Amino acid sequence: MKANEIKPGVLYHAYDEELLEQRKKVQEALKQMKQGEEQQVLKELLGSWHDDCEMCVPFHFDYGENIFVGHRFHANFNAVFLDEARITFGDDCLIGPNCGFYTASHPLDSALRDQMLETCAPITVGSHVWFGGNCVVLGGVTIGDHAVIGAGSVVTKDIPPYALAYGNPCRVIRMLASVKAEER
């Protein structure tokens, strides 16, 4: 099984031989990456990557091919992407240090967990979204355009566009005024 064959919401064996090999290959490529080679390696490993994007090292992901970013994407140090399902970011997203995006989940049933079975759900982030440091976003979450997620938040549910949200669990604190580009 390849990472792009994992179906959201369907159990799969996390230690499938082909998945293990794919994760090992990605980790080796990341370890061998020399400073200055990040852009080329990210172009090769991620589902989409643009020259105007930046990801500060170190960063971590399982497969890469399920990560899709828009233009002017920036992830600060220690970003973690468990991309068993698709993780999508729109344009102009800013990710603070130590943020994690986790599409993978384990069954509540310990007998299934003991078999190394997992499930996953995609994460979708709109454009112009800012995450403060130490945020965690769980699978199945959609975050709307222009949202701000405060530092230390654990996002377990959808966040609408133009929302200021923070906390554990993350919740909408107030709505932000929309500003038209021509008014900036």
Nearest to 141 by CA among 129, 133, 45: 129
106 is known as an active-site residue = yes
Copy the structure tokens of residue 68. Answer: 């899709």
Q: How many CB atoms are closer than 10 A to CB 17? A: 9
Q: Is 9 left (phi over 0), alpha (psi -120 to 50) or beta?
A: left
Q: Annotated catalytic residue: which of 60, 106, 128, 146?
A: 106
Rounded Cα distance between 58 and 107, Å, is 29
CA angle centred on 93, ends 37 and 106, rounded to 5°: 85
User: Could you check whether the bond before residue 58 is cis, i.e. omega within 30 degrees of 0?
Assistant: yes
Nearest to 150 by CA among 108, 104, 94, 102: 94
Q: Are 77 and 57 in contact (CB under 8 A)?
A: yes
Nearest to 103 by CA among 134, 77, 125: 125
Residues taking part in catalysis = 106
